[in-house]
Amino acid sequence: MLDFIKITAKSAVANARSEDRAQTNLVGLFIGLMIAAIVAIQVFIPVVNDAIASSNVSGTEATILGLLPLFAALLLLIALASPLMRRI
Protein backbone atom coordinates (compact mmCIF):
# COMPACT_ATOMS: atom_id res chain seq x y z
CA MET A 1 0.00 0.00 0.00
CA LEU A 2 2.80 2.38 0.87
CA ASP A 3 4.51 1.71 -2.47
CA PHE A 4 1.29 2.55 -4.31
CA ILE A 5 1.08 5.89 -2.48
CA LYS A 6 4.72 6.68 -3.34
CA ILE A 7 4.20 5.84 -7.01
CA THR A 8 1.01 7.91 -7.14
CA ALA A 9 2.74 10.87 -5.47
CA LYS A 10 5.68 10.68 -7.87
CA SER A 11 3.41 10.61 -10.90
CA ALA A 12 1.40 13.54 -9.53
CA VAL A 13 4.60 15.56 -9.06
CA ALA A 14 5.78 14.66 -12.57
CA ASN A 15 2.43 15.73 -14.04
CA ALA A 16 2.52 19.01 -12.11
CA ARG A 17 6.02 19.74 -13.38
CA SER A 18 5.08 19.08 -16.99
CA GLU A 19 1.99 21.28 -16.65
CA ASP A 20 4.11 24.09 -15.19
CA ARG A 21 6.53 23.73 -18.07
CA ALA A 22 3.74 24.15 -20.60
CA GLN A 23 2.47 27.18 -18.72
CA THR A 24 5.96 28.68 -18.70
CA ASN A 25 6.26 28.15 -22.45
CA LEU A 26 2.94 29.91 -22.99
CA VAL A 27 4.05 32.83 -20.81
CA GLY A 28 7.33 33.04 -22.72
CA LEU A 29 5.42 33.03 -25.98
CA PHE A 30 3.22 35.92 -24.89
CA ILE A 31 6.21 37.91 -23.63
CA GLY A 32 7.92 37.47 -27.00
CA LEU A 33 4.78 38.49 -28.87
CA MET A 34 4.33 41.58 -26.71
CA ILE A 35 7.92 42.62 -27.38
CA ALA A 36 7.33 42.14 -31.11
CA ALA A 37 4.13 44.18 -30.88
CA ILE A 38 5.87 47.03 -29.07
CA VAL A 39 8.73 47.07 -31.58
CA ALA A 40 6.36 47.01 -34.55
CA ILE A 41 3.97 49.64 -33.22
CA GLN A 42 6.43 52.00 -31.56
CA VAL A 43 9.42 51.68 -33.90
CA PHE A 44 8.71 50.20 -37.32
CA ILE A 45 5.46 51.94 -38.26
CA PRO A 46 6.51 55.51 -37.25
CA VAL A 47 9.92 55.14 -38.90
CA VAL A 48 8.37 53.90 -42.15
CA ASN A 49 5.75 56.68 -42.10
CA ASP A 50 8.46 59.30 -41.53
CA ALA A 51 10.63 57.86 -44.30
CA ILE A 52 7.70 57.90 -46.72
CA ALA A 53 6.76 61.46 -45.78
CA SER A 54 10.31 62.75 -46.25
CA SER A 55 10.93 60.85 -49.49
CA ASN A 56 10.43 62.17 -52.99
CA VAL A 57 7.97 59.53 -54.19
CA SER A 58 4.56 60.18 -55.65
CA GLY A 59 1.82 58.34 -57.46
CA THR A 60 1.79 54.58 -57.45
CA GLU A 61 5.05 54.30 -55.52
CA ALA A 62 3.71 56.47 -52.72
CA THR A 63 0.53 54.40 -52.57
CA ILE A 64 2.45 51.14 -52.34
CA LEU A 65 4.85 52.52 -49.74
CA GLY A 66 1.90 53.86 -47.77
CA LEU A 67 0.56 50.33 -47.48
CA LEU A 68 3.70 49.03 -45.74
CA PRO A 69 2.55 50.03 -42.22
CA LEU A 70 -0.81 48.38 -42.87
CA PHE A 71 0.92 45.16 -43.91
CA ALA A 72 3.11 45.33 -40.81
CA ALA A 73 0.03 45.70 -38.61
CA LEU A 74 -1.66 42.76 -40.35
CA LEU A 75 1.45 40.64 -39.92
CA LEU A 76 1.53 41.52 -36.24
CA LEU A 77 -2.14 40.62 -35.85
CA ILE A 78 -1.58 37.24 -37.50
CA ALA A 79 1.48 36.64 -35.34
CA LEU A 80 -0.54 37.35 -32.21
CA ALA A 81 -3.49 35.18 -33.23
CA SER A 82 -1.76 32.13 -34.70
CA PRO A 83 -0.31 30.69 -31.44
CA LEU A 84 -3.70 30.96 -29.82
CA MET A 85 -5.40 29.20 -32.71
CA ARG A 86 -2.92 26.31 -32.51
CA ARG A 87 -3.70 25.78 -28.83
CA ILE A 88 -7.48 25.62 -29.23
| CA separation for the pair 78, 80 (Å, rounded) | 5
Instruction: Give the residue extent of every domain in the chain.
Output: 27-87
Global pTM? 0.55
| CA separation for the pair 80, 66 (Å, rounded) | 23
Tens of pLDDT, residue by residue over 37-58, are 888 788 888 888 899 889 999 8
Residues of the chain with pLDDT under 70: 1-24, 86-88
Q: Which phi and psi angles does 67 have, rounded to 5°?
A: -85, -15
pLDDT of 41 reads 82
